């Protein structure tokens, strides 16, 4: 998540109001306040609003929301005369480039830090970790236009940022800290993207690192911005957000020409939206004038178009407006969430519980009646617990995680009994007898279904206790069953039974094998049973199943 640091003094100056008002109202435009400090506040903004990732962007929105300055912010652009060419060889590597010139910037250390912060937040939210978009800012006066965006051989060398010697592109990928962080984005290409000036001096190796030559310092007066990436729209969004933020801070924006295309225009996009659709979605009475007024507070250009529509100009920095409803949400925010009268609709509906939870409920009441305590174990477990300790061989239908996060959780449980054994182990120091049960989902061959298992540990736990409990369970759940001798290795031979309903083995019971007791470090006999609840009358048939990947 993007957490933005907002210094009060700067924000107050830009917004034209006091800090208390800002802190009070900021959550109502869509933000979480993380920390309130002496001289600044840290605020988390949502990933769909990268235009709020700078104090300038926040001030722009707050001015509108507080009624200080409403309507579309207009950013004049003049041509800089600077041109770029894009090497067609980049088409499959990193095809898109956007750029702009930003003049008369006034950067102190704090402003540079803020600009870097915006850049990093955009890398995260819009750039998807620099793959989709990477942003570079340069001291324009250190280099000579025209500029070229080329696919360069990897043995080309320059001095990257934070180094004092030339390195080849290959060396940068392996030896520069940023190279190591981002090499995965480009290392598969034989040529790498490079931005060079008229004298072949390197500005940037996108998306990895800039050249030391164009480092932005407090002495920098004019900035050249480059945004490169794999998605044209995203590259333009990042450019617009940075340009308009710097323009809010007082800089002048100039266009560049890239292979004949002049950018950035910083021009709004147009939409005509329905007042009726908005009013009905939000449940509030609205006229087209009301709606236009509310939208103006959200910094849209908005004019009534008769009674039924509003003509909207969407600012170029608003990357989140995909659909008319995105505009309606802004109407709701301007209206104030606290001003909505929360009301239930009149429609009446009849509730119904899901058959599987109804069955699970019946199971619980039987088990509680038998004196058992319920456990709700994790569904993720591992081979050691699920199979090895139970002396069972792994089921072929076991679902395994491709990228587990710990050795404890590598697969999805196919049975509950092993997890209850683990619970007994964890509760070894507690008073006996302990009788535990669990009812819950297991997954086999990608199909999710419910099972139940129960264990009883105490010096007198034996086969009879297990059988008696299993018998109660079957009788109470209307399962006519028969019993045959089981071969489940988790139980003692000759003291284990399979429960058969219809033709299928749907459960087993008996005395747990001492080898299994040893594996779980238990010191007393355990009587246990386990059932597949699909056998219970009324259990719904499974949905469609995925096919195992044939790799």
Of 151-210, which residues contact other proteins (CB under 8 A)?
Answer: none
β-strand pairing of 261-263 with 96-103: unpaired
Q: Among candidates 269, 276, 266, 267, which has minimal Cα distance to 246? A: 266
CA torsion, points 384, 386, 391, 393, in degrees to nearest 10? -100
| 3-state SS string for 101-112 | EEECCCCCHHHH
Nearer to other proteins by Cβ, of 188 and 551: the residue is 551
Span interacting with other proteins, options 165-173, 252-260, 384-392, 396-404, rule CB under 8 A? 396-404
Task: Return the residue of 112, 183, 252, 284 that touches other proteins, per CB under 8 A.
Answer: 284
* Contact positions with other proteins (CB under 8 A) in 366-395: 367-380
Span interacting with other proteins, options 288-296, 384-392, 422-430, 530-538, rule CB under 8 A? 422-430
Task: Return the residue of 38, 109, 341, 503 that touches other proteins, per CB under 8 A.
Answer: 341
Query: d(Cα 177, Cα 484) in Å, to the nearest integer?
Result: 66
Tell me if the bond preceding 91 is cis, omega within 30° of 0. no
Query: d(Cα 332, Cα 160) in Å, to the nearest integer?
Result: 48
Q: Among candidates 223, 201, 83, which has minimal Cα distance to 140? A: 223
402 binding other proteins? (CB under 8 A): yes
Dihedrals φ, ψ of 413, to 5°? -60, 145
x-or-dash pattern for other proteins, window 428-467, by CB under 8 A?
A: --xx--xxx----x-x--xxx-------------------
Q: What tokens appear for 353 in the block?
A: 């519980």
397 binding other proteins? (CB under 8 A): no
The Cβ of residue 232 has, within 10 Å, a number of other Cβ atoms equal to: 12
Q: What tokens appear for 411 in the block?
A: 């697969």
Task: Return the residue of 399, 416, 490, 517 that touches other proteins, per CB under 8 A.
Answer: 399
Task: Confirm if 457 and 433 have CB atoms less than 8 A apart.
Answer: yes
* Contact positions with other proteins (CB under 8 A) in 15-34: 27-30, 32
Nearer to other proteins by Cβ, of 171 and 277: the residue is 277
* Contact positions with other proteins (CB under 8 A) in 199-258: 231, 233
145 binding other proteins? (CB under 8 A): no
Task: Return the residue of 155, 199, 352, 503 that touches other proteins, per CB under 8 A.
Answer: 352
Query: d(Cα 506, Cα 398) in Å, to the nearest integer?
Result: 18
3-state secondary structure of 181: helix
State the number of binding residues for other proteins (CB under 8 A). 95
- How many residues in the chain? 551
74 binding other proteins? (CB under 8 A): no
* Contact positions with other proteins (CB under 8 A) in 520-549: 542-543, 546-549
Query: d(Cα 123, Cα 319) in Å, to the nearest integer?
Result: 14
CA torsion, points 93, 98, 101, 107, in degrees to nearest 10? -70
426 binding other proteins? (CB under 8 A): yes
H/E run at residue 180: helix 177-182
Query: d(Cα 208, Cα 176) in Å, to the nearest integer?
Result: 9
Task: Confirm if 235 and 97 have CB atoms less than 8 A apart.
Answer: yes
CB of 183 to other proteins, least distance (A): 17
354 binding other proteins? (CB under 8 A): yes
337 binding other proteins? (CB under 8 A): yes
Task: Return the residue of 285, 306, 345, 537 that touches other proteins, per CB under 8 A.
Answer: 345
Task: Return the residue of 113, 198, 401, 514 that touches other proteins, per CB under 8 A.
Answer: 401
CB of 517 to other proteins, least distance (A): 18
The full DSSP string for 213-277 is: GG---TT---EEEEEEES-HHHHHHHHHHHHHHHHHTT-EEEEEEETTEEE---PPEEEEEEHHH
Q: What tokens appear for 301 in the block?
A: 């250009």
Span interacting with other proteins, options 149-157, 190-198, 274-282, 295-303, rule CB under 8 A? 274-282
60 binding other proteins? (CB under 8 A): no
* Contact positions with other proteins (CB under 8 A) in 286-325: 322-325
Q: Among candidates 512, 473, 478, which has minimal Cα distance to 496? A: 512
398 binding other proteins? (CB under 8 A): no
Span interacting with other proteins, options 142-150, 155-163, 173-181, 400-408, rule CB under 8 A? 400-408
CB of 386 to other proteins, least distance (A): 15
CB of 197 to other proteins, least distance (A): 32
Task: Return the residue of 80, 356, 456, 486 that touches other proteins, per CB under 8 A.
Answer: 356
């Amino acid at each position: 998540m993007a957490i933005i640091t907002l210094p009060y003094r700067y924000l107050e100056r830009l917004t034209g109001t006091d800090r208390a008002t800002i802190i009070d109202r900021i959550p109502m435009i869509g933000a979480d306040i993380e920390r309130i400090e002496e001289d600044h506040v840290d605020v988390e903004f949502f990933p769909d609003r990268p235009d709020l990732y700078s104090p300038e962007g926040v001030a722009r929105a707050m001015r509108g929301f507080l009624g200080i300055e409403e309507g579309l912010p207009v950013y004049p652009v003049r041509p800089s005369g600077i041109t770029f060419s894009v090497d067609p060889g980049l088409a499959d590597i990193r095809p898109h480039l956007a750029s702009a010139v930003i003049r008369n910037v006034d950067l102190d250390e704090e402003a540079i830090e803020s600009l870097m912060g915006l850049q990093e937040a955009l890398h995260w939210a819009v750039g998807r970790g620099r793959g989709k978009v990477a942003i570079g800012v340069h001291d324009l006066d250190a280099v000579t236009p025209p500029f070229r965006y080329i696919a360069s051989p990897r043995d080309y060398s320059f001095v990257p940022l934070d180094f004092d010697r030339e390195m080849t592109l290959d060396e940068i990928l392996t030896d520069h800290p940023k190279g190591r962080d981002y090499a995965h984005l480009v290392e598969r290409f034989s040529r790498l993207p490079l931005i060079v000036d008229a004298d072949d001096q390197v500005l940037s190796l996108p998306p990895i690192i800039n050249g030391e030559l164009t480092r932005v310092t407090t002495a920098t007066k004019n900035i050249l911005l480059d945004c490169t990436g794999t998605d044209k729209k995203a590259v333009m969004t990042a450019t617009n957000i940075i340009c308009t933020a710097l323009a809010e801070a007082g800089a002048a924006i100039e266009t560049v020409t890239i292979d004949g295309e002049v950018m950035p225009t910083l021009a709004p996009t147009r939409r005509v939206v329905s007042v009726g659709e908005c009013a009905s979605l939000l449940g509030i009475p609205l006229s087209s004038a009301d709606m236009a007024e509310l939208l103006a507070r959200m910094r849209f250009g908005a004019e009534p178009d008769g009674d039924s529509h509003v003509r909207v100009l969407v600012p170029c920095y608003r990357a989140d407006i995909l659909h008319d409803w995105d505009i309606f949400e802004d109407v709701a925010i301007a209206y104030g969430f606290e001003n909505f009268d929360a009301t239930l609709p009149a429609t009446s509906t009849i509730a119904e519980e899901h058959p599987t939870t109804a069955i699970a409920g019946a199971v619980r009441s039987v088990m509680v009646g038998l004196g058992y305590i319920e456990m709700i174990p994790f569904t993720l477990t591992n081979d050691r617990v699920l199979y090895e300790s139970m002396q069972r061989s792994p089921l072929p239908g076991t679902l395994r995680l491709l990228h587990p996060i710990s050795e404890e959780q590598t697969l999805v449980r196919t049975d509950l009994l092993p997890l209850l054994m683990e619970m007994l182990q964890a509760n070894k120091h507690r008073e006996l007898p302990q009788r535990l049960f669990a009812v819950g989902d297991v997954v086999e061959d990608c199909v999710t279904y419910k099972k139940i298992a129960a264990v009883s540990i105490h010096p007198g736990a034996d086969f009879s206790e297990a059988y008696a409990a299993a018998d109660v369970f079957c009788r109470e759940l209307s399962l006519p069953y028969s019993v045959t001798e089981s071969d489940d290795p988790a139980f003692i031979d000759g003291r284990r039974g399979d429960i058969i309903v219809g033709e299928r083995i749907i459960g087993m019971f008996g005395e747990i094998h001492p080898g299994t007791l040893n594996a779980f470090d238990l010191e007393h006999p355990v009587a246990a049973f386990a059932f597949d609840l699909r056998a219970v009358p009324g259990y719904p048939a499974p949905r469609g199943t995925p096919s195992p990947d044939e790799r």
